[in-house]
Amino acid sequence: MGTVRFLLALCVVVTHAKGSSIFGLTLFSGVTAVQCFYVISGFLITMVLNERADYASLRNFYLSRYLRLWPAYIVVALASIALTRSDWLSQLSQNVRWPGAAFLAFSNLTLLFQDWTLFLRFDAGQLVPTDAFGTWPGAQVNSFLLVPQCWSIGVELTFYLIAPFVCRKVATLVALLGFGIVTRLIIAAMHPPALDPWVYRFAPAEMMLFAAGGLAYFAGRSVYASRPHLAKVACGCAVALFVMLVFGSEIVAPWVTKFGGMSRPLLLVNWPFLLVMILSVAPLFYGARSHRLDNALGELSYPMYLCHMLVGGLIAAWLPAQWQAGNALYVVAVILVAIALDGLIVKPIDGFRRRLGARAPAHDHQAAARPREPMPSGADVRFATVPAETL
């Protein structure tokens, strides 16, 4: 699964590059990549809640998930203030009145509620609800996020909040799936004036994808957990398919569109791709869970998601245009910074998270043979959200 998570993170990174391409090659939709992270997150969180006894404790679960996301995030947020947003605090105090300024400062500090900024606008310095954040003149509320793409982590955190209560039984996941579907049907019937925040940024609607990933865990466990050869074969086929979909998007996209690229009743973009993700997530996990390179690539997906806009901004500001051609330097720099974040921040924190049940101790060979918990996304992106994570 790690290779696919890396590829999905790469799609988001390239989506935010100049021209949204690398050497003229357009990868698959960043929107769809973020939603794929939602599916992966649903699968992995359902797995750990059902297979890690330590996560019977709500405290352990919530603290472990937060420590997976926040430390690397706050490093990137502080780097953003130091390197590109030195006037952030003064701009906040000048443009936003209390209590809006307090809310934005709290959200930036804690990573909580960042998705809410996409459903708010400024009115004389106050925050008021809106269904079309991008249509209002002047500054947008989400422009005050130090790591703008982390709105998708807000969506992830909403799922984490309810996960211990819905992910342990098939029936409750089916109910969550139904809730998400009904929410999407209502939104589509209301025809919001700006589809962007409603297509993949509204947390209640995205519960459909988290639930689908959770149900894929229960289905996949019975098929692949005891059939390692089948899992490896299916995993290899799935990885090859995702490589083709990501790097051959310009060839594949017309076929996706032909067979239903947009589900209007559900406002779901590229739904065939998402269906492939739902069907593939179990073999991707069970077929490669002990593969070190695959796991290492997957661990980079969240740091890549976190740092790519900061790295892109620094390259655009500091380096001559000829160095930026093709966006190769940008992508390589993102990967290198992600490796540094993973090695210096994420892995040391994981040493503490092991005590919460997030990782099997290295000396416990029986535990180490059980399924480990790779980083979801986007997102959980991690968005990344990815996550989303997510952009």
CA torsion 68-235-270-11 (nearest 10°) is: 50
Give the model's confidence band at 215: pLDDT under 50 very low, under 70 low, under 90 confident, else very high. very high
Average pLDDT, the chain: 86
Does pLDDT of 193 surpass 80? no
Residue 35 has pLDDT above 60, yes or no: yes
Question: Rounded to the nearest 10 degrees, how much is the dihedral formed by the CA atoms of 238, 241, 245, 250?
Answer: -170
With beta carbons less than 8 A apart as the criterion, state whether 113 and 151 touch: no
Tell me the pLDDT band of 357, cut-offs 50, 70 and 90: low
- What sign results for the dihedral spanned by CA atoms 55, 61, 67, 68? positive
Please list, residue by residue across 209-227, b when 16 or more beta carbons sit within 10 angstroms of its beta carbon and e when fewer do.
bbbbbbbbbbebbeebeee
> Looking at this protein, which amino acid is placed at residue 262?
M
Residue 329: partners with Cβ closer than 8 Å, 6 or more residues away? 315, 319, 323
83, amino acid identity? L
Closest to 234 measured CA to CA, from 4, 70, 60, 14: 4
Query: Cα separation of 383 and 391, whole Å?
Result: 9
Query: Which pairing describes strands 126-129 and 262-263: parallel, antiparallel, or unpaired?
Result: unpaired
| Residue 330 in tokens | 């940008």
pLDDT, tens digit, for every residue of 291-327?
899 999 999 999 999 999 999 999 998 988 888 888 8
Distance CA 304, CA 72 (A): 11
Measured CA to CA in angstroms, residue 286 lies from 1, 52, 182, 228 at distances of 8, 16, 31, 7
Can you give the residue ranges of every domain in the chain?
Answer: 2-85+146-369
Task: Give pLDDT, residue 260.
Answer: 56
- Burial-class residue 322 by CB neighbours within 10 Å (0-12, 13-18, 19+): exposed
Give the separation between CA 46 and CA 41, rounded to whole angstroms: 8
Run of H or E including 115:
none
Min mean pLDDT across 122-136, 141-155, 205-219, 277-291 is at 122-136
Percentage of the chain exceeding pLDDT 90: 62
Indicate if the pLDDT at residue 228 is higher than 50. Answer: yes
Q: Is the pLDDT of residue 25 over 90?
A: no
CA-CA-CA-CA torsion sign (87, 386, 252, 21): positive
SS3 123: strand
Helix axes 2-15, 328-341, angle to 10 degrees: 130
Residues 344-379: b if buried by 16+ CB within 10 A, e if exposed = ebbeeebeebeebbbbbeeeeeeeeeebbbbbbbbb
> What is the pLDDT, as a whole number, of residue 261?
65
Contact 376, 41 (CB under 8 A): yes
27: Cβ contacts below 8 Å, ≥ 6 apart = 10, 11, 14, 15, 21, 246, 247, 249
Phi and psi, residue 264, nearest 5° = -65, -40
Task: For residue range 86-109, list pLDDT tens digits in order.
Answer: 889 888 888 888 899 999 999 999
pLDDT, residue 249, reads: 67
Residue type, 36: C
Compute φ and ψ for 349, nearest 5 degrees. -65, -35
Average pLDDT over residues 247-261: 63
Tally Cβ neighbours within 10 Å of residue 57: 14
pLDDT at 358: 59
- Kindly report the pTM of this predicted structure: 0.88
Cβ neighbours of residue 319 under 8 Å, at least 6 residues apart?
A: 329
